[in-house]
Amino acid sequence: MPDLGETGNKCVDALSGTICLLKLVWHNCTTNFNIILMKLSELARLTSAELVRGDAELEISSATGLTAAGPNDITFLSDTKYLQDALVAKAGAIFVSAAFEFDRDDIAVLRTANAALAYARAQTVLDPLPPVSGEVHPSAVIDPSAVVAKDVEIHAHVVIGKGSTIASGVRLLPNVTIYDNVSIGEGTTIHSGVSIRENSVIGSNCIIHNNSTIGADGFGYTKDEHKRWFKIRQTGRVVIENDVEIGANTTIDRASTGETRIARGVKIDNLVQIGHSCTVDEDALLCGHVGLAGSTKVGKRVILAGQVGLGGHLTIGDDVVITAQSGLSHDVAPGKVVSGSPAYDHHDWLRAITTFRRLPDIAKRVKEIEKRLTGRK
């Protein structure tokens, strides 16, 4: 190494120290925060995407949105309204839906049938959940008759009642309350503040978010001889099948008799109310503020947009879509799209709402026609 003089040697020493410090910081970050670096070729394989442009050896550390992505991030484009953002994105790579034209040579491009799905899978691969610790906080209260697998993670002030069964890989966050004779399947996560009432059944790989209540009494009363409300005991249960996700502050009431059932793969948003004895079938999607009155049956793959209200004892067929703020008091045949309150066919509703906005002008024209017909001035 050539002699750089005293000043030069000091600069080299300082630079070397800085490099060592940066290596130490990077090591700590990747260790403590579980940062995963994955080659683009491997990420393409795991997300069923085709790398059509770019360096297969590029290392990707995270999946993030178009405007926030950096050189080691991957992002996605699945809607043409975000094309301008994609054209200036600083990401190292991008998933692009196969139907879209995307002409940039300075970014790796991965083609896929569904860019949003590939992106979601990339998030799962690059940012996996931490493993279940198997630790039990000393403040937890577990009834001696409860059966709890050895690898269940139980946080502070969790309560598990008599005869309950908690399967392998379950994570119970602080202040979860599980009543008597509850069953919770493998790999389910229950967030803080959730209450699961007696006799409820929760399947495997479910997620229940904060402060939701599963299995509270249904809203059942009848009038007595003095015209006062007399409570009808709710003796049924709630069954949540596998792979269901339930948002925060949602309530699912137990049946008056029999069961309230949420089928496999259903996704429920925050602040949803599901009344007693309802059935929600597979892969249905219930958005925020949806309300189901008792004994209503919702079919497979139904979408209930925000603030939809369904009356009691209704049947909503498979693949129905009910648009936001609609209210129903009648059954809906499979495959229909309905809107409004009271709701009816969506296309008819669009024509009606267009006419509604023109009513003042229409009324004025009708009056003018009446004047001409009657000869009045």
Measure the CA–CA gap between 233 and 215, rounded to whole angstroms: 13
Q: How far, in whole angstroms, is CA 216 from its chain's centroid?
A: 22
φ and ψ of 258, to 5 deg? 80, -130
The one catalytic residue in 155, 191, 209, 276 is 276
Q: Is 347 a catalytic residue?
A: no
Alpha helices in 4-154, H assignment, sequence order: 5-32, 40-46, 83-88, 115-126
Are 252 and 213 in contact, with CB atoms under 8 Å apart?
yes
Cα–Cα dist 197/240, whole Å: 13
Tokens of 291: 């309300």
With residue 362 as reference, give the H or E element that holds it: helix 359-374
User: CB-based contacts of 369: which residues, under 8 Å, 6+ apart?
Assistant: none
Is residue 113 a contact partner of residue 132, using CB atoms and an 8 Å limit? Answer: no
Relative orientation angle of helices 346-357 and 359-374, to the nearest 10 degrees: 60
Question: Are residues 188 and 182 in contact, defined by beta-carbon separation less than 8 angstroms?
Answer: no
Q: 373: helix, coil or strand? A: helix
In angstroms, rounded to a whole number, what is the distance separating the alpha carbons of residues 91 and 366?
60
CA nearest to 54, candidates 109, 4, 112: 109
What Å distances lie between residue 269 and 206, 248, 305, 314, CA to CA?
14, 7, 10, 21
The residues carrying an active-site annotation are 276
